[in-house]
């Protein structure tokens, strides 16, 4: 497939309000970076992260390219702020899973739109996810407290739920958006606290805010599509 044809397929299905909203968010990020002298890694991470989430929500495989770049920046930010759970999550899990996701999604693309086919978990699978999430979060919190993490409870919950969320993303399951909404909301609170205590990562706060909104938006979109 030619590059121009690939780009055309990837941009298919964008609504005007989505493009306008994305432009507004990016304008705020760049203005914030210039005025408040934000961390460059936070800016790149925010841009790539938002693009990843939107493109993933649209079921386009190109989301993983932005995901990999954004993950690299987030690893650096987490290291600088002693968020060991988030750092290890992105380094040892997100990057490998996003790489796997490229090949997994490639097997389930619709021929006409090049979007993935979406699925819904069975009741039994949902119960397994809830069970794993509860005990996994408790274990993560305990480990992070032992290593003196700055935010062991929120970091522990977001770390393990992100593991489940990424697994469901690769599986193309709608339930991922419920988990991402929880993760993004808690991560927003965590980074707000970090910024309040002096770290210049305003773009990261904005990124998690947008993530939270997008998780709810794409849950509604995917639910409507699966119903139809």
Please give the biggest Cα pair distance in the chain.
52
Rounded CA-CA distance 116/111 in Å is 9
Q: Residue 207: beta bridge partners?
A: none
Q: Which residues contact 117 (CB under 8 A, 6 or more apart)?
A: 108, 109, 110, 172
Q: Do residues 116 and 124 lie in contact, with contact meaning Cβ atoms separated by under 8 Å?
A: no
Instruction: Provide the terminal-to-terminal Cα distance of the chain, rounded to the nearest Å.
Output: 30
Q: What is the C-alpha radius of gyration for the chain, rounded to an integer number of angstroms?
A: 17
DSSP 15: -
Report yes or no on whether pTM surpasses 0.75: yes
- Domain span at residue 162 reads 3-227
Residue 203: name the closest of 21, 42, 37 by CA.
Answer: 42
Residue position matching structure tokens 């990020």: 29
Can you give the pLDDT at residue 5?
65
pLDDT per residue rounded down to tens, the chain (228 residues): 566 666 666 666 677 888 888 888 888 888 877 887 777 888 888 889 889 989 999 988 889 999 999 898 888 888 887 778 778 878 888 899 999 999 999 898 888 777 889 999 999 999 999 999 999 999 989 988 888 777 788 888 988 998 899 999 999 999 999 999 999 999 898 888 888 877 777 777 888 898 899 999 999 999 999 987
149 backbone dihedrals φ, ψ, rounded to 5° = -65, 145
Can you give the pLDDT at residue 203?
75
Residue 128: name the closest of 69, 171, 81 by CA.
Answer: 171
Can you give the pLDDT at residue 37?
78
Rounded CA-CA distance 196/198 in Å is 6
The domain tally of the chain equals 1
Rounded CA-CA distance 137/24 in Å is 35
């Amino acid at each position: 497939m030619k590059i121009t044809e690939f780009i055309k397929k990837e941009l298919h299905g964008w609504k005007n309000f989505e493009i306008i909203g994305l432009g507004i968010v990016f304008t705020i990020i760049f203005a914030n970076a210039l005025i408040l002298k934000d961390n460059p890694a936070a800016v790149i991470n925010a841009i790539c992260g938002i693009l990843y989430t939107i493109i993933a929500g649209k079921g386009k495989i190109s989301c993983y390219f932005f995901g990999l770049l954004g993950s690299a920046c987030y690893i650096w930010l987490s290291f600088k702020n002693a968020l060991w759970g988030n750092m290890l999550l992105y380094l040892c899990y997100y990057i490998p899973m996003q790489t796997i996701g490229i090949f997994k999604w490639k097997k389930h693309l619709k021929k006409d739109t090049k979007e993935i086919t979406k699925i819904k978990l069975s009741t039994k699978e949902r119960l397994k996810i809830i069970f794993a999430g509860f005990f996994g979060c408790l274990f993560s919190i305990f480990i992070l407290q032992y290593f003196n993490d700055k935010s062991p409870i929120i970091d522990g919950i977001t770390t393990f739920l992100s593991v489940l969320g990424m697994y469901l993303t690769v599986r193309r399951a709608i339930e991922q958006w419920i988990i991402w909404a929880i993760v993004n909301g808690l991560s927003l609170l965590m980074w707000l606290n970090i910024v309040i205590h002096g770290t210049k990562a305003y773009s990261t706060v904005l990124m998690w805010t947008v993530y939270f909104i997008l998780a709810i938006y794409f849950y509604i979109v995917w639910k409507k599509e699966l119903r139809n």
